[in-house]
Amino acid sequence: MTDKENAIQCIKDEAQAVLDLIAKIDDNFEKAVDLMMHCTGKVIVTGVGKSGHIGAKIAATLASTGTPSFFINPLDVFHGDLGVMAKGDVVLAISNSGQTDELLRFIPMVLHMDIPIIAMSGNPQSLLAKYSTCHLNVSVEKEACPLNLAPTSSTTVTLVMGDALAVALMNKRHFQPQDFAMFHPGGELGKRLLTTAQDVMITENLPILSPKMHLGEAIILVSKGKLGLGVAMKDDRIAGIITDGDIRRAMERWRAEFFDRSVCDIMTQSPKTVSPQTKIAEIQRIMNENKIHNVLVSDNDNRLLGVVDRYACIL
């Protein structure tokens, strides 16, 4: 087989193993989700070797989607780390064979502390499955490895089962994008959902116009403002807005008469405004729906506080 053919066969084998996992979702899955959902402590994920690597990823996914969780190597438990566990926790133990010695030596300690165990293995008859509160079957017919030795399909299926748990818990918790942002404040989503208008608005050298100002004078102020707009103010309140596009269209319409016209002749009298606390994600939605490039930030009395342009929303 060529390299390309080997790659395709590997992908097919692992994809089939994942599809075969569907038939193995039973009442034990529901029980596992319920245990994790009502866990008053932490979900402690553990495993050795490749199972440990997969377990670390599952723990990270759970933690970032609303389920307090972390990974611990069972070998470390024998050297003092058992202290991180307490009544109210749930253990998710991963072992493809279900017979991993280091993991099995860890189980009696967990049972002694009356902590429920969710086992995830490819052997429903294993000791790990026997002593668990519920067992999730992640068995595969064969590994994608041509020798049927290296963990390939089995680790993929285990990872998918972990994702299935996380997704089920997200739905049960009614986990929303805002919640996700709280756990990912440094990411793009977190920034868009946590950053507010007051964090990014422009407040200096704003192009302030009078509704009665002639357009010839208004053009100069709009140009100096470098925002592509001018804000018409009356009695310290927002009265309207004009944009570069408004000015161009007015020039085409009135030509020589343009300079005799006033700001009030072309301004939009109900410009889109937001509060200082409006999230950037919401501002992006307003801009996209209304096909505009700026929004005005105002207080409860419709006084101008600043301007947010489209570029400020690119975080």
Average pLDDT, the chain: 89
- Whether residues 152 and 27 share a domain: the answer is yes
- DSSP assigned state of 42: -
Residue 187 belongs to a domain:
no
Residue 116 belongs to a domain:
yes
User: How is residue 221 written in tokens?
Assistant: 């102020």
The model's pLDDT over 14-24, given as tens digits with 9 standing for 90+, comes to 999 999 999 99
Q: Note down the domain range covering 254.
A: 197-313
* pLDDT above 60 (res 81): no
The model's pLDDT over 169-224, given as tens digits with 9 standing for 90+, comes to 998 888 776 666 555 555 555 566 678 999 999 999 899 999 999 998 999 999 98
- Whether residues 15 and 137 share a domain: the answer is yes
What CATH number does the domain containing 261 carry? 3.10.580.10
pLDDT at 310: 83
Alpha carbon distance 289, 31 (integer Å): 44
pLDDT at 280: 84
Residue 286 belongs to a domain:
yes
pLDDT at 144: 93
Residue 183 belongs to a domain:
no
- Whether residues 159 and 217 share a domain: the answer is no
Pairing of strands 229-234, 237-243: antiparallel
* pLDDT above 90 (res 1): no
- Whether residues 166 and 215 share a domain: the answer is no
Alpha carbon distance 49, 56 (integer Å): 11
Alpha carbon distance 270, 279 (integer Å): 21
* pLDDT above 80 (res 137): yes
Q: Three-state SS for 101?
A: helix
CB neighbour list of residue 273: distance below 8 Å, 6 or more residues apart? 238, 295, 296, 297, 298, 302
Helix axes 50-64, 153-172, angle to 10 degrees: 20
Check: CB of residue 17 under 8 Å from CB of residue 153. Answer: yes
Domain count, the chain: 2
Check: CB of residue 228 under 8 Å from CB of residue 243. Answer: yes
b (16+ CB within 10 A) / e for 215-236: beebbebbeebebbbbbbbeee
pLDDT at 77: 64
- Whether residues 278 and 201 share a domain: the answer is yes
pLDDT at 64: 82
pLDDT at 121: 96
What CATH number does the domain containing 70 carry? 3.40.50.10490
